[in-house]
Structure 1
Amino acid sequence: MQELNFKQELTGCFGQPIAENPSQAMVEAAYRHHGLDWRYLTIEVGAAGLADAVRGARAMGFRGFNCTIPHKVAVIEHLDGLAESASVIQAVNCVVRDGDRLIGENTDGKGFLSSLGRIESPAGKRVVVFGAGGAARAICVELALAGAARVTIVNRTVAKAEVIAKTIRENTAADAVATEWQGDYRLPPETDIVVNSTSIGLFPDVDARLAIDFDTLTPSMVVADVIINPPRTHLINTAEQRGCRVIDGLGMLVEQGVVGIQLWSGVEADPGVMRRELEAIFG
């Protein structure tokens, strides 16, 4: 049993059981690199224990924590406030201590935005996002808040996509539309950025292919995939072969970590250290 030194600063991840947590390895690698006497703990928390877990984090002086599914919405009622994007998205994956208050943030979209910003600004761009789950919602809202001109959400269930599109139209200056995903989707030629926010291609189904017409990918497009295992999905490999600039799922995960550590500690973590740790895990 591990004994904790409570002189250390504590952060953590509250959520479902995780056999191997790459986020923990990544964040603690950054703590070591920057000389922070901090720990990032993976803590299994069931739905019935969420309120107690948040009270425990307050009592033990946690500087913050992440929330995984199924807590991203339920945790809101236990917090003292929400940052802008978390308020619009109505989901929290990162909690930050501000004095005596716990403030909900959402770094899912911020991580994607940071990784995208290393190669392209979203301002004025036309974006196509596949999927309408929590990751899609966070990414779409952050893109809209960052000045994207138009966001198209493509999903099998168009009603779910329309919920995201309506949220964007009502809370940002961007245009947003929902499109039903039927057959192989043909990307409009004016598309600037393509994002897969689905689980298609996730291990062990690594040969699964996104249902799009790959002939409509052009070298002017940036193509991103949120999947981290494997980092090199069929979409990423194909887009790169067609001359597109690409962002793999590790980029988003690393940048989420950078944002979270900055919110908790004020330190801007070295993304290279964190990515190397993930690459070692995923080979």
Structure 2
Amino acid sequence: MNQPLNFKQELTCVFGQPVAENPTQCMMEAAYNACGLDWRYLTIEVAPENLAQAVGGLRAMGFRGANLTIPHKVEVIQYLDGISDAAAMMGAVNCIVRKDDQLLGENTDGKGFVQSLKEVTDPAGKKIVMFGAGGAARAIGVETALAGAAEITIVNRSTERGEALAQLLQEKTNVPTTFTKWDGDYTLADDVDVVINATSIGLFPDVDAVFPLDFASLKSNMIVSDVIPNPPETHLLREAAKAGCTTLDGLGMLVNQGVIGFQLWTGVDPDPQVMRAALEEVFGVK
């Protein structure tokens, strides 16, 4: 991890706005080291107007791939040689993989979530309520639908975005999908199996934000998941745990996204426990 760069090393990167200690960078480099790979994962700030040049540099310098954050996930598509079917459905790419001389786009957001969910239950046949209609919700909605969800309800404050996502899922996956406007504390139906927060409510630094849910409607047989990794324990998850629900934090999704990207870039299966331990160290999880 502390070795200097040299021409023998393989490189991957993330296009976004770097922070002092990037959690994904720490996670990926811990996995590279554990697998004995002389690779680096670099955090590179790229302004929107420089995205085309950044992808060109990716090609020229032989990077094996990259991750992308907001605001690049949609705009990058025009600069790639192709994208996966799932990424095409979502209309967004968060992972670039070099195959021979081509740069191909993938989206690991939803796949990472589904893998995390499968550690506690199979989404096939489940009734899902998902809060949010942004990029994360779109990716998770597509992948849970493709995994066989029986029914999906999109709950969102913006009617336009919520209805658009419900329509996309209905048309592209044929999974029955409805939209409900989020106005006040949402009450869950008794037959809901999986509850997903795909919004930023509770994300650092707004860690004390109260999640607008009627917590009395939570049932102990429900699985409650939050995509927020920082902090790993959100207000929603604390209340769900009090109700006896099985909870899934955002670290699991982040780890599984990393595992998928790692496999795509290297062809090697990393140790998820090593990756989670690196994240827990960054976030100070006891």
Asked if Structure 1 and Structure 2 have the same fold, meaning a TM-score greater than 0.5 normalized by the shorter chain, the answer is: yes
Say if 2:220 is the partner of 1:200: no
Amino acid at match of 1:119: V
CA distance in 2, matches of 1:6, 1:91: 32
8 Å Cα contact 1:131/1:198 also seen in 2: yes
Counterpart for residue 213 of structure 2: 212
The secondary structure found in structure 2 opposite 1:102 is: strand
Shift of 1:17: 3.8
CA distance in 1, matches of 2:205, 2:59: 38
Shift of 1:210: 1.0
Bigger Cα displacement from structure 2, 197-206 vs 36-45: 197-206
Counterpart for residue 71 of structure 1: 72
The secondary structure found in structure 2 opposite 1:27 is: helix
Q: Provide, for residues 10-44 of structure 1, a one-character-per-residue CA deviation record: whole Å limited to 9, x for no partner.
A: 10001224333100000000000011111101011
CA distance in 1, matches of 2:176, 2:22: 37
Say if 2:264 is the partner of 1:263: yes
Counterpart for residue 250 of structure 1: 251
Counterpart for residue 88 of structure 2: 87
8 Å Cα contact 1:13/1:43 also seen in 2: yes
Q: Alignment length, in residue pairs?
A: 282
Counterpart for residue 182 of structure 2: 181
Say if 2:138 is the partner of 1:145: no
Root mean square deviation of aligned Cα:
1.1
CA distance in 2, matches of 1:16, 1:264: 22
The secondary structure found in structure 1 opposite 2:43 is: strand
Instruction: Calculate percent identity across the aligned residue pairs.
Output: 61
How does the TM-score come out when normalised to structure 1? 0.97
Counterpart for residue 43 of structure 1: 44
How does the TM-score come out when normalised to structure 2? 0.96
Amino acid at match of 1:172: T
The secondary structure found in structure 2 opposite 1:166 is: helix
Q: Provide, for residues 63-102 of structure 1, a one-character-per-residue CA deviation record: whole Å limited to 9, x for no partner.
A: 1100111100000000011111101000000001111111
Amino acid at match of 1:57: L
Counterpart for residue 29 of structure 2: 28
8 Å Cα contact 1:145/1:173 also seen in 2: no
Amino acid at match of 1:114: Q
Counterpart for residue 125 of structure 2: 124
CA distance in 2, matches of 1:219, 1:161: 27
The secondary structure found in structure 2 opposite 1:194 is: strand
Counterpart for residue 60 of structure 2: 59
Counterpart for residue 275 of structure 1: 276
Q: Provide, for residues 156-192 of structure 1, a one-character-per-residue CA deviation record: whole Å limited to 9, x for no partner.
A: 1121011111111111131111110011100111111
8 Å Cα contact 1:73/1:90 also seen in 2: yes
> Structure 2: where are the runs of 5+ without partners?
none
Shift of 1:3: 5.2
Amino acid at match of 1:94: C
Shift of 1:219: 1.2
The secondary structure found in structure 2 opposite 1:205 is: coil
Counterpart for residue 159 of structure 2: 158
Amino acid at match of 1:224: S
> Structure 1: where are the runs of 5+ without partners?
none
